[in-house]
Amino acid sequence: MIKVGIIGATGYAGAELVRLLSGHPGAEIVWYGSRSYVDQNFTDIYRNMFAIVEGKCLDDNLPKLAREADVIFTATPQGYLASVLTEEILSQTKIVDLSADYRIKDVHIYEKWYGIEHKSPQFIPEAVYGLCEINREQVKKARLVANPGCYTTCSILTAYPLVKEGLIDPQTLIIDAKSGTSGAGRGAKVANLFCEVNENIKAYGVATHRHTPEIEEQLGYAADQEITVSFTPHLVPMNRGILATEYASLKKVTLPDGSVGYPSTEMVRAAYEKYYGDETFIRLMDPGVCPETRWVEGSNFVDIGFVIDERTHRVVMMGALDNRKVFAWRRYSPKPRPGIGTKQPERERGEAERERRKRRDGREKTEKRKGIWSFISEP
């Protein structure tokens, strides 16, 4: 049984971790860290966990927790973990940080975009960006995992195969993303009050959103060059969910018949299948089907679709995920569990999707997963 500690357990992301890990057969939560609710029963804050969770909220004493837990999740604001992390702590436990403290490799870029000094940059080089569909093997071996942001997970996964295969010009990438209000966290903010959000949609962080450099860095690795993207997030009046609509110019490539031209729908689809065909938590939409946030609500899935605009020689890529689940669940679940994350569109799956499922379902089911990251890094 893996002993788990959670710092920031009463925030939205932390509470999702509590709910999901409480039902995980290989995990035991030994620490519900919450600076705001010390000595209060966790179920006094989240009544939906009554008779499921038994435990009081503790403080955020990371050195003490490191001696008691095999793995620690820090669901905390930017700057917290960087200010307290030491070599002694990392020598005793493994950490998954849900903040941005270790996502960006260039500390100067982090400090510029987040406006704070990084207190422990010596740990940045070893931190593994925890996007398992891309870095699964590195995550397995890591002692410090930088959990991706919500917008970034959706934005990166939606464009990654086409960037990696050189089918689009990454310098032309425009990302228009929309998120539910829970993405801003549980703290009280006037801008997130019901009367401010209801019957309204607005852009925010235009040209300045802090997830921009994270997207650029990760897609830059895929493109093998530095890239610049235009990223604009929007707030929509729903509790949870993200929809990213991304636009990029197609590049002329060598076609199957030997001629040079723009990639076809079949070529783009093949690129997605190459990288995601066997991924449990990525669902590729049938041709002409656009993802919707309601289809992924409460699930681990990222639904991805695309349409090629023949007139402009651009591709429109679309991705949808549940922003609260991306923090607390997608990266750390070995497989989907019955009754969790099963909401799907009521439609016939295409032949390609059925074949993908056959491949996935035909995998060896009895393989033992070993090591502390087994329930974290594998689908």
Q: Annotated active-site positions, please?
A: 150
The answer to whether 263 touches 317, Cβ cutoff 8 Å, is: no
DSSP character for 157?
H
**Nearest one of 6, 5, 14 to 46, comparing CA atoms:** 14
Beta bridge partners, 233, equal 177
Residues ≥6 apart with Cβ < 8 Å to 23:
337
- Distance of CA 355 to CAs 65, 82, 232, 350, 359, Å? 46, 45, 36, 9, 6
**Nearest one of 173, 184, 153 to 302, comparing CA atoms:** 153
**Nearest one of 260, 342, 352 to 305, comparing CA atoms:** 352
**Block residue for tokens 């699964």:** 136
Cα separation, 215 vs 286, whole angstroms:
26
Q: Map residue 377 onto helix, strand or coil.
A: helix
Supply 12's token pair: 């939205």
Cα separation, 74 vs 65, whole angstroms:
11
Cα separation, 155 vs 324, whole angstroms:
15
Q: Give me the count of residues in the chain.
A: 379
Q: Map residue 7 onto helix, strand or coil.
A: strand
The answer to whether 378 touches 138, Cβ cutoff 8 Å, is: no
The answer to whether 262 touches 167, Cβ cutoff 8 Å, is: no
Cα separation, 133 vs 139, whole angstroms:
10
Give the H or E element holding residue 19.
helix 12-21
